[in-house]
Structure 1
Amino acid sequence: MHGGEISMLILLLIGLAARSNLISVCACILLVLQFSKLEILFPYLETHGLEVGLLFLLLSILIPIATDKVTTGELLYNITSLPGLLAVLAGVLATHLNSEGLKLMQINPGIIFGLILGSVIGILFFNGQPVGPLMAAGVTALFVEALNWFR
């Protein structure tokens, strides 16, 4: 067994222990691809997987708008009210942090284990909601940048 396969088995066990279906399923899919010699898909998943995931995330978020559960008036109010303006600001900040987190994961892919371990701790002990490693990487990038200010 190679290091990547062992890492995926560890992630699978962590996902099962943390009751994180996403981590468990992803580890299983990658193991199946490795054992069935379909690693040729890895470069495609690496370059386009995030876009495909975001596509489905946005689809699920936009369903209430498409089905008129949220009206145009509510949308306009939620963009122009104080909470709505704060949401726009938070969206700008979050996307910037996610961009920095993505850069951090590209520079240091091994950091993913720390991000997943932190997510598992947050789920188990702080009733956290797993939303993926990208936001955690963004916060990590912010922490790293803040530490660099003090050096």
Structure 2
Amino acid sequence: MNWENLPILIILCLSVIGNNHSVSIAALILLLIKLLGFHTWFPYIEDHGITIGITILTLAVLTPIAQGRISISGILEAFKTPIGLVAIFVGILVAWIAAQGVFFMKESPEAVTALVVGTIVGVCFFQGLAVGPLIAGGIVSLIISAIGLFKN
């Protein structure tokens, strides 16, 4: 066995132990791509995977609107309640923080490994979701910027 496969195997084992199907499937697919010799796929997945994943996630979020279960009046109602207004504000904030994470991860590749490890631990053992690296990267970017170690 090639020792460079060990990290993805460890992630696969941890995700199975942590009963996280998303990480298990992702790790297994990546391991199979590697073992089957489709190495040329990795740059495409790395360059476009986040966009594809966000698109699929957005499809899922917009489906109730497309099905008519959420109407224009329902959307407008969100602006009339305190919970709706807080949710809108938090949605805007988190989207902005995630965008900072994308920038930060491109500018600070050394932080990507730590963000990935933190996300894997959060997903496998704390019932988290794998959307964490972008938001975590954004939060790290904001903290680092606040203490003056990174220029946005």
Q: Does 1:115 align with 2:140?
A: no
Q: Which has the higher helix share?
A: 1
Letter in 1 for 2:19: R
Q: Which moved more, 1:137-146 or 1:78-87?
A: 78-87
* SS of equivalent to 2:69: coil
TM-score by length of 2: 0.78
**Partner secondary structure for residue 69 of structure 1:** coil
CA drift at 1:128: 4.5
Match of 1:77 in 2: 77
Please, which moves more after superposition, 92-101 or 74-83?
74-83
Structure 1 113/23 Cα, relative in aligned 2: closer, same or farther at 3 Å? farther
Q: How far is 1:31 from its partner?
A: 0.6
Q: Sequence identity, in percent?
A: 27
CA distance in 1, matches of 2:46, 2:124: 29
Deviation sequence 1:28-82 (CA, Å, 0-9, x none):
1111111111010111111211111111111111111112222221111113544
CA-atom RMSD in angstroms: 2.5
2-structure distance, mates of 1:82, 1:76: 13
Q: Greater relative contact order (Cα 8 A, min sep 6): structure 1 or 2?
A: 2
- Give the corresponding residue for 1:139: 139
- The letter for the 2-side match of 1:56 is I
Correspondences of 1:2-151 after superposition (within 5 Å): 2-3=3-4, 5-109=5-109, 111-119=111-119, 122=122, 128-132=127-131, 133-148=133-148
Structure 1 unpaired stretches of 5+: none
User: Is contact 1:101–1:139 with CA below 8 Å preserved after alignment?
Assistant: yes
